[in-house]
Chains A and B, each alone.
Chain A
């Protein structure tokens, strides 16, 4: 490290977080721009456990201060959270900084919440960047409210910093590899019903694809769970696989928002409690697969999911805003405080729409001899087909609406022209397209949905 580091400020508070396993995160910091003293570090979180590299507090402070450099020019809108990403080869670290404005001691200050990782973890971290950033952004929203009330933001930020350390540590040990050997999946079975029931497999994969490749697999047998996790991951891109996690053999990880596929082990009582809030905060709707009882449930499609998610977020922030005491940080449980919004707890529903694309693929792939690369080739053909169909659908809508300038009114024509008349097929292709162009579901299906929701709310208010 540089010899020119300033001495550590005695005012910097530090929390050590006990993390199981090897945590790639070196530190997390909260810094702010003091109008007299310039950049100041307020708090440092460091993992206690196996670390890849050691940074002294002085070095962490030095780096954290630098994340605020240049931010005196910041002209962002109030409430905006900007992300800065540094790869400092000279220091051998990566820093991810979220810059935002907040009120400290009555003054508006520019603040930075940062996480520091070794540069050697760049390839590991990059696929997880969006997950970390989105989760930190939301905790910053809560932190800003806390700051506005004059309370200590650190306690709020800790609510997410610690789980992110745990997430990164768990991903380090249990992430799904980029290249999955088809032999470790259900697709290597001699026949379709060998590992699991034919209809279950079809339903699981179909729903998994309809929910943009986002699924949780729960069960009591870790091998069985992981086999399904790997099978579902076959249908993801390499980058998405890096955002998926196998289940631990002995005990279960906690559910983590933002991962694509995660395997979770049931406890000794045969149950797994799924946190409602975290599942709702996932960027995409989720498929719930129970390998013990062969059930597949799915959340509503993207536009409904996003709408529910935002309403819940608003409720949560509202509840925080109305809190009277610093000690009363609302727990991450269901919020009932907002009269205008009652979350529907029954978010997992049966898979309504059957498709033909996945059905025929599942039927056909088992006809090819296992143990060779025939099935892998056929799988890649299937995925290529889905990606191409998604791009065609996007282009079709783009042409029809002049890149969104006009509303899309010709869904029926689209279905006919692109051979997507079966609802399940359309859902699968739309899900692929949503990942390419976020907001597509809301654009295509949103208006009638919002109208119906408004009408429902109106009726409920009487």
Chain B
């Protein structure tokens, strides 16, 4: 056993340990940490802040109590947590940011208003982990020292980098808010001066009368002390009148001064109107050069209606006409000695500013807070993403949400407009700052109001109107506005998304009912952790697929071509009305004799198909050539007008207007419109067609599909991939243009599946026109033209049997995913392209992560399709002797050799390329063009089951 002295000998620190400080060692406070916190946890950098999320703080440097916080946005106590707002206000307001003279300058007869430009400061408290962009501004208050009240608006964040990287955007937004607040304050200040001048005028007349009476009462040559006091008081009031009149002149000249701030944001209309208002006041009070005229007026006033009210209050009456009539202002007698500084109550921020302007400012700040919410890396990537997508408009339609209508991105978009709803053309940014993170298009058109509100008459609107207008500007994206034109009803709009509170009671009841009815559905129950055992079992069970005889399976009735053609032509007659006659005539040209050697020879004829894509062309407009024209075979020089910017109408609302083409309003559906639970997210607005009312085919989503909705669908897509081992086959069908029918009895289940699978539909349309979430009637071949994904109701009725008939009839064109039986019938897929997005053993845990992964994979596919489409030498004959077969061979060779794709994967690229070509050559046709084709080839279908 080792005794304690031995142990002590070995634990002697000064010999073996490091505790003995080296006098030459650098103290830690002068060094840099070798392993800072960010290394052990890159997410922990901001965790020591005492608030949970960014917020906006408005503070004031009060002349009575010093710096004090006034309000926070969002106005919830939990936002700031235990963060000491008082201390932080002190910190941000103690910066001497202006250092300009205010008050009564030496040598000047009258007090001077100081017109100070705003200043912007970024500072922080590293100990508290709080950093802020602080926008300092000065408001005018007649009661305040030097007539100024210093305020600041601060964006407080725990991430200093976030503020600095977005400095210019923050500066722009806060400048807007500041200018709005100051414009409102100048109006309020002018009104206050007006009232004050009336008071003074009134006081002057009273004093003058009293003095006159005293003079008359006393001896002619003697003045009592009281009379002298009165005379002095009168002189003071007169001086005060001149001073206030001068102040009014100064505030009127506010707009004439040169602006020194190149980053100031002003609304020209606000400026002009405020100016004219002030000048009117100035003119009015300039007439009072002889203050004694009030005596005469007073005489009249005593008789009845007050002259001042008529004159001075006249404007107020005009202003408020149509709303309410405030009691007109009655002049007050001003006491000789005003209240002591600390006795008086200072005006609140709201009182310092005209109400509509105040409300607009708060709304602007709320919008700012919303738009900068979230982690910097996501904000940053979102903007980069958007900037990059604007450069590739030719492929965006495939898998990207609409650029203009992305409400998620609204925050990142700088939308300069007047906060009190002036038209945007009046907006002036003295020096528009370039955006550091990435260019953002200014969507001005969408914000332009048909009837701009006049700020001079702003108070003549009801408060509700004001707010309504402001709300509509701030809250609603152009996408929301277009909803009304989508043919979807208001209630549809209201039920958009589960997190919106605008759902009506009836809808909520319906939703509730649906939620109840969906409870037993275990089809897409969340599966937070992948169960590997189960996955393995599923994997093995998926091997037990039954190979069937393709179309022959369950399809006892061979469909003759004539039947098909007549049906197609019949169903397209209506469409042809809207198209040129030539387009209809083209249909017959497209008919070619079918190769009789084909296994499907009994069908006689089919539309010409260029192997291997074999895409029948339907509903083409007159200038679209068969087969060969499916590639961009024109020399690029001929398309120069398109090549500067691939704005080929993808982004234009007209090109993909849901009202165009085959779509009809939802409103026609009547009884068939149904809703599912709120948890369905966006698919709850999908509607169904019913009975034989085929023309009433509804919109897919009932509105523009937004990024948020797509993200929600990502969760469903991940579940689908995990739960269905044959998910890859289904995805391949969608991506290669083969219509997928999701069959099921339960509407909720089918809708959820469709919503999830809709992510994989190439070119789904701005409003998801290529997707039919719920259909309860048999479909026809025309439907297959327009829909690439269909949710079909399984019913046990005569209608049901006809539906099954239609399913079996068109089975060669479609794949069928049975949500009840959990089976899939489709051609087999043996490619590699989709293995990373449809791996049911994936360790991706969250739907949002899967959605990101999906986005990048689909983006990769779109890029390859773009490459294939625009690699000119592939699609053009090298010499005149080269036939189309050689060109075709070269294209296939490119897909195989260059891109390393197998047959099935090539089909995906061919389909995407075909869509891009259509979109590129026929931008005006937009989604219609995409609808006019569906894939078909002679491959046997395979029956998969779990």
Give chain A's interface residues, CB within 8 Å of chain B: 2, 4, 62, 66, 69-70, 73, 75-80, 82-90, 92, 119-120, 122-123, 126-127, 129-130, 141, 144-145, 148, 178, 237-239, 303, 306-307, 310-311, 313-314, 317-318, 321-322, 363-364, 367-369, 372-374, 376-378, 380-385, 387-392, 394-396, 398-400, 403-405, 410, 413-414, 416-419, 436-440, 442-443, 446, 450
| B381 near A387: Cβ-Cβ < 8 Å | yes
Judge whether B38 and A381 touch: CB under 8 Å. no
Nearest first, the 8 closest Cβ-Cβ pairs linking A and B are: A89-B261, A404-B41, A439-B38, A70-B94, A388-B856, A89-B117, A439-B42, A442-B39
B880 to chain A, nearest CB (A): 21
Rounded to whole angstroms, the CA-CA distance of A237 and B385 in the bound complex is 11
**B622 on the A face (CB < 8 A):** no
Could you say which residues of chain A place their CB within 8 Å of the CB of B98?
88, 90
Q: List 16 A-B contacts (CB under 8 A).
A: A70-B95, A79-B30, A82-B124, A83-B124, A90-B116, A238-B437, A239-B438, A373-B646, A380-B391, A380-B392, A385-B860, A388-B381, A388-B855, A390-B381, A391-B852, A399-B849
Q: Which of A380, A385, A437 contacts B856 (CB 8 A)?
A: A385
* CB neighbors of A among B158-193 (8 A): 160, 164-165, 167-168, 171
The answer to whether A314 and B121 touch (CB under 8 A), given A70-B95, A377-B646, A388-B385, is no
Of the candidates B32, B167, B438, which one forms a contact with A314 in the assembled complex, judged by CB atoms under 8 Å apart?
B32
Query: Does B123 sit within 8 A of A, measured CB to CB?
Result: yes
Q: Is the CB of A129 within 8 A of B849?
A: no
Do B438 and A238 have beta carbons less than 8 Å apart?
A: yes
Within 8 A of A (CB), among B323-372: none
Given contacts A66-B96, A442-B39, whether A239 and B436 have CB atoms under 8 Å apart is yes
Contacts of B41 in A (CB 8 A): 403-405, 439, 443
Asked if A322 and B24 sit within 8 Å, CB to CB, the answer is: yes
> Chain B contacts of A92 at CB under 8 A?
260
A399 neighbours in B (Cβ, 8 Å): 844-846, 849
Given contacts A89-B117, A90-B100, A373-B645, contact A314 B123 (CB under 8 A): no
**Contact in complex: B377, A86 (CB < 8 Å):** no
CA distance A316 to B122 in the complex (A): 31
User: What's the minimum C-beta distance from B163 to chain A, rounded to whole angstroms?
Assistant: 9
Asked whether B243 is an interface residue with its Cβ less than 8 Å from the other chain, the reply is no
Does A87 lie within 8 Å of B119, measured CB to CB? yes
- Interface status of B264 (Cβ within 8 A of chain A): yes
B549 at interface, CB cutoff 8 A: no
With the chains together, A440 CA to B97 CA distance in Å? 38
Residue from B90, B388, B433, B843 in contact with A417 in the complex, judged by beta carbons closer than 8 Å: B843
Given contacts A383-B388, A398-B43, 11 further A-B contacts (CB under 8 A): A77-B127, A87-B121, A237-B438, A303-B39, A367-B871, A377-B391, A377-B646, A388-B856, A392-B856, A399-B849, A440-B42
Residues of B near any A CB (own CB < 8 A): 24-26, 28-36, 38-45, 90-91, 94-101, 116-127, 160, 164-165, 167-168, 171, 260-264, 377-378, 380-381, 384-385, 387-389, 391-392, 394-395, 433-434, 436-439, 636, 643-646, 836, 839, 842-846, 848-849, 852-853, 855-857, 859-860, 862-863, 866-867, 870-873, 898
Interfacial chain A residues near B852, Cβ < 8 Å: 388, 391-392, 395
Complex Cα distance A69/B119, Å?
15
On whether the beta carbons of B385 and A443 are closer than 8 Å, the reply is: no
Interface centre among A78, A237, A377 (most CB of B within 10 A): A377
Residues on the A chain within 8 Å of B32, using CB: 141, 310, 313-314, 317
Asked if A84 and B380 sit within 8 Å, CB to CB, the answer is no
Residue of chain B at shortest CB distance from A124: B434
Instruction: Judge whether A438 and B122 touch: CB under 8 Å.
Output: no
| Beta-carbon contact of A238 and B100 below 8 Å | no
Q: Are A126 and B264 in contact, CB atoms less than 8 angstroms apart?
A: no
Instruction: Give the secondary structure class of A's interface.
Output: helix
B121 with A85: CB separation less than 8 A? yes
Least CB distance, B141 to chain A, in whole angstroms: 20
A405 nearest CB neighbor, chain B only:
B41
How far does the Cβ of B47 sit from chain A's closest Cβ, in whole Å?
9
Assuming the contacts A80-B126, A389-B856, A410-B843, asked whether A317 and B26 have C-beta atoms less than 8 A apart, the reply is yes
Given the complex, which residues of B lie within 8 Å of A418, measured CB to CB?
836, 853
| CA distance in complex: A78, B436 (Å) | 33
Known: A237-B438, A442-B38. A82 touches B260 (CB 8 A): no
Q: CB distance B843 to A413 under 8 Å? A: yes
Which of B29, B437, B849 is within 8 Å of A78, CB to CB?
B29
Which single residue of chain B is at the shortest CB-CB distance from A5?
B99
A314 touches B26 (CB 8 A): yes
**Contact partners of A84 in chain B: CB under 8 A:** 95, 121-124
Closest A residue to B27 by beta carbon equals A321
Picked from A384, A437, A440, the residue with its CB within 8 Å of the CB of B389 is A384
Chain B, residue nearest A381 (CB): B863
Give the docked Cα–Cα distance between A102 and B867 (Å).
60
CA of A227 to CA of B644 in the docked complex: distance in angstroms? Answer: 23
Contact B377 A436 (CB under 8 A): yes
A439, B644: Cα distance in complex, Å: 40
User: In the complex, what residues of B have CB within 8 A of residue A364's CB?
Assistant: 867, 898
Q: Chain A residues with Cβ under 8 A from B389's Cβ?
A: 380, 384
Whether B121 and A86, one on each chain, are in contact in the complex, defined by CB atoms closer than 8 angstroms, is yes
Q: Using Cβ atoms and an 8 Å threshold, which residues of chain A touch B836?
A: 417-419
Whether B160 and A381, one on each chain, are in contact in the complex, defined by CB atoms closer than 8 angstroms, is: no
Is B90 within 8 A of A73, CB to CB? Answer: yes
- Please, which residues of chain A bring their CB within 8 A of the CB of B848? 395
Closest to A419 in B: B836
Contacting pair B126 A396 (CB below 8 A): no
A391 touches B377 (CB 8 A): yes
Chain B CB count within 10 A is highest, among A77, A395, A410, for A395
Given the known A-B contacts A127-B436, A392-B853, are A314 and B863 also in contact in the complex, defined by CB atoms under 8 Å?
Answer: no
CA gap between A444 and B263 in the complex, in Å: 42
Please measure, in the bound complex, the distance between the C-alpha atom of A311 and the C-alpha atom of B34, giving whole angstroms: 7
Whole-angstrom distance between the Cβ of A394 and the nearest chain B Cβ: 7
What's the Cα separation between A376 and B391 when bound, in Å? Answer: 8
Neighbouring A residues of B167 by C-beta, 8 Å: 85, 126
In the complex, are the beta carbons of A87 and B171 less than 8 A apart? yes
A74 → chain B closest CB, angstroms: 9
Residues of A within 8 A of B392 (CB): 377, 380-381, 384
What is the minimal beta-carbon distance from B719 to any residue of chain A, in angstroms? 16
Chain B nearest CB, measured from A126 CB (Å): 6
Contacts of A383 in B (CB 8 A): 388
**Measured between C-beta atoms, what is the minimum distance from B642 to chain A in Å?**
9
User: Do A374 and B636 form a contact, CB below 8 Å, given A89-B260, A141-B30?
Assistant: yes
Q: Which of A86, A391, A398, A439 contacts B119 (CB 8 A)?
A: A86
The reply to whether B434 and A178 form a contact with Cβ atoms under 8 Å apart is: yes
B434 CB contacts on chain A under 8 angstroms = 123, 178
Say how far B441's CB is from chain A's closest CB, in angstroms. Answer: 14
